[in-house]
Amino acid sequence: MHAPEPVPPAAATAADAPEPVPGHGLLAGRTAVVTAAAGTGIGGATARRFLEEGARVVLGDAHARRLKETEEALAAEFGADRVTSLTCDVTDETQVRALFAHAEAAHGRLDAVVNNAGLGGTAALADMTDDQWHRVLDVTLGGTFRCTRAALRSFRTAAADPARRGGVIVNNASVLGWRAQPGQAHYAAAKAGVMALTRCAALEAAAFGVRVNAVAPSLAAHPHLAKTTTPELLDALAAREAFGRAAQPWEVANVIVFLASGYSSYMTGETVSVSSRHP
């Protein structure tokens, strides 16, 4: 007797997502840098969740206007003493160094870094230009490298003081680092590189008590996603998820909170899938 064919999920929307989980003080007293934190995507959701968990947050983003608006909105809700920002293009080493120096100057310490900056796009490999390839790799992989390097330098210096030893880095990878999807050769290669960078950095960082992990979302819904692909493809990808919908950005941010908190104290070099996708 043959097993029944799997039933495809019913159409779902953001309204079908569960209610956000309230904060529990998991990051109380810690200072975190979050890149690409302006707006309504994973970075913005992560900044909010870190604040809800008691952290002080330094926001970085290349979009100055959106960054200022995000800072003002979060400061009004959580307090200006807990939120600050600095414009940062992660392809510019000078700006990356300035962001980390700003965090240290504002709060006197650094405890967590979320490398969220990335750049997508769709292009067939046979038609892809060198500029398209290099731009996606430089933002997505190169930016993660620059910020990871800056974070490790800061953590390594702090490790001389036993009271400040430790720290956490969480990189935003993607399930496309594992899976194939047409038109995504540059993005998939960059995200696979982020996963490999995470593993190697973790072994080096362990020497001074620092953990480095990554999340790999499949599809997280936010307004700017439509700029990198078509609505038809987004609908098709969402339909392939087990829950029949894209993740909400805060659902990815929750996993980032877990990796930044003491609940994952023995995890390093890991990439955690945040996906419900079925074959």
Beta bridge partners of 214: 171, 271
* Rounded CA separation 124/141 (Å): 20
- Active-site residue, from 187, 193, 194, 212: 187
Residues 197, 88, 42, 81: what is their CA dihedral angle, to the nearest 10 degrees? 120
CB 277 within 8 A of CB 236: no
For 80, the token pair is 């200006």
Residue 258: CB atoms within 10 A of its CB come to 17
Q: Which residues contact 271 (CB under 8 A, 6 or more apart)?
A: 173, 177, 195, 198, 213, 214, 215, 216
- Of residues 108, 101, 90, the one with CA closest to residue 35: 90
Three-class SS state of 60: strand
Please report the DSSP string for 68-95 in residue order.
HHHHHHHHHHH-GGGEEEEE--TT-HHH
User: Is 187 annotated as catalytic?
Assistant: yes
Residues with a known catalytic role: 187
